[in-house]
Amino acid sequence: MSSIQHTKKIALVDCNSFYVSCERLFKPSLNKKPVIVLSNNDGCIISRSIEAKALGIKMGDPYFKAKNIILKNKVHVFSSNYALYGDMSRRVMRTLKYFTQEIEIYSIDEAFLDLTNFPDDLVELFGKKIRSTILEWTGIPTSIGIATTKTLSKIANHVAKKEKSGVVSLINIKNIDSILEKIEINDVWGVGKQLTKFYIRNNISNAKQLKNISNTWIKKSSNVLSSRTAMELRGISCISLEKSQSKRKSCCVSRSFGKKVENYQELKESVTAHCLNAAEKIRSESLFAKSITVYIRTSPFQNKGIYYSNSKTMDFPIATDNSFEIVKNALAGLEFIFKDGYRYQKSGIILSGLSDSEKNQNLFFNKKNNKIKNLMKSIDLTNHRYGRSTLSLADAGISKKRNTRKQYSSKIDTADFYLLPRVRAI
DNA sequence: TCTGGGGTCCTAGGACCC
DNA sequence: TCTGGGGTCCTAGGACCC
């Protein structure tokens, strides 16, 4: 057993303006220029380059509201291309795994690494090596924050975003209070809109103040999550690294419509399509759903007409991954909640109570079940080979034009070898 | 005219039981 | 006038994250 006691060291690696950076790979001429990426249907702004941020363009703002600034400043606009971002994300994560297996992939553009086994005085240098390697191998710029807990590594990362080196370690700093003091309370990981309001009311407006507040007070007036955050600010690790990604518990598929929908048939088609996507997803992960929720709603932002939103949840008699059964139940639920005369903006479904046990199934295993299983398998295989929705149910309305907007797509597919950008070795 | 999508966890309160 | 008390389980909705 080693006698050396290592300080706990957690690094948070975060890709800078990830979606924008992905698009820039294929158009290097856009470096240093303002660029944004839009959500589905070109609805909201979901990624901004620093130059776009500097223009005052806010995260999550509806596109049409920012259009004036965008046109005036010649901001480059992209519709989102999730296939591209997912692919680039996998490349970045693979690169990280080259450095350590102690990794938690936290989101599409973020990962926590446990660097406890590296010497304290070398960890920042190691961070810089990681950063330059990711840039070299994938072309994606990152920021890296290193500290003793996840919450503090988030803060270190926040500071690193403004540093030229892109890497900040709090490990060897004796007293980090002067740093925490400059972190606004709403920038602390785990403090959202409601908690910010609550803390401000109680004269807590930065991370240092939250760190120094009594634990009993937080637990009493808020909840365990809040006290965990405060503890982590004090350097006491409460949120551990989740190395193995556990199987998910639910699976949602939803879309807003490009144009409002009043027609029942069109709603049915959208719900059917959502079900087929979700069913395929859970089958690919060998999961079975216990229940399904279907929901529809009109736009919450328009006051013309009355707002209507409703949902219906149904249990399956036996947990299932069968597309037909999932669609059948969803459509029954839709019929139950549909009301005529509204301009619907969105529909969605949620498969929940997901499990990978086939316990329930085995009891009822028979020929018919096997037949359906094989059918599902061949549907998935065909769709995988020839593109999504090659094989579909009639109700998904595949012959029709999709009710979505995607005006600014770069149409880049990393599966196409010749479009892959060549990244210059540094 | 036009406002994303996909997750997790916690808690309050209702249903039910003795 | 006045209607127990304590426990468990489940779910819907809220808050948070990216």
Q: What is the pLDDT of residues A233-285, one digit of tens each?
A: 999 999 999 998 888 999 999 999 999 999 999 999 999 999 999 999 999 99
pLDDT at A399: 47
Query: To which residue do tokens 């971002």 refer?
Result: A85
Q: What is the pTM of this model?
A: 0.93
pLDDT at A389: 66
Over the range A304-315, which residues count as b (16 or more CB within 10 Å of their CB) and which as e? Answer: eeeeeeeebeee
Contact assessment for residue A15 and residue A21, using Cβ atoms and an 8 Å cutoff: yes
Comparing A79-88, A130-139, A259-268, A413-422, the range with the smallest average pLDDT is: A413-422
Closest nucleotide relative to residue A107's CA, C1' based: C18
pLDDT at A248: 92
* A112: nearest Cα among A30, A192, A23, A8: A8
- A195 CB contact with strand C at below 7 Å: yes
Residue range A60-69: mean pLDDT, rounded: 96
Contact assessment for residue A14 and residue A127, using Cβ atoms and an 8 Å cutoff: no
* A348: nearest Cα among A271, A414, A289: A271
Nucleotides of B under 7 A from a protein CB: 1-11
Closest nucleotide relative to residue A300's CA, C1' based: B3
Comparing A13-17, A33-37, A47-51, A296-300, the range with the smallest average pLDDT is: A296-300
- Examine the pLDDT at A68 and tell me if it is beyond 60: yes
- A216 CB contact with strand C at below 7 Å: no
- A316 CB contact with strand C at below 7 Å: no
